[in-house]
Structure 1
Amino acid sequence: MRQFDVIILGAGAAGLMAAIAAGRRGRRVLVLDHAPEAGRKILISGGGRCNFTNIHTAPDRFFSENRRFCASALAGFSPRDFLAMVEAHRIAWHEKTLGQLFCDGPARAIVAMLLAECAAAGVEIRTLCTITEVGGGPDFRLDTSAGPFAAGSLILATGGLSIPKLGATGFAHDLAARFGLRIVAPRPALVPFVLEGEERARATPLAGVSQPVVAACGRARFREAMLFTHRGLSGPAILQVSTAWREGMTVGIDLLPDQGPDFLLRRKREAPKSALRTLLGGVMPQRMADAFMPAALPPGPVAAIADRALLDLGARLKSWRIVPAGTEGYVKAEVTAGGVDTAGLSQRTLAATGVPGLFVVGEAVDVTGWLGGYNFQWAWASGWAAGSAA
Structure 2
Amino acid sequence: MHDLRQIREYPEAFDAALAKRGVEPVAAQILKLDEERRQLTTRLQEMQGRRNEASKAIGQAMGQGDKEKAESLKAEVAEIKQAMPQIEEEERALGRSLSDVLAAIPNLPADGVPEGADEDDNVEVSRWTTPKALDFEAQEHADLGPALGMDFETATAMSGSRFTFMRGQMAKLNRAIGQFMLDRQTGENGYTECAPPLLVRDEAVFGTGQLPKFAEDLFQTTDGRWLIPTAEVSLTNSVREQIIDDLSAPIRLTALTPCFRSEAGAAGKDTRGLIRQHQFDKVELVSICRAEDAHAEHEHMVESAESILRALELPFRKMLLCTGDMGFGARKTFDLEVWLPGQNTYREISSISWCGDFQGRRMNARYRPEAGAKKTEFVHTLNGSGLAVGRTLVAVLENYQQADGSVVVPDALKPYMGGVEKLVAS
TM-score normalised by the chain length of structure 1: 0.23
Greater Rg by CA: 2
**More helix per residue: 1 or 2?**
2
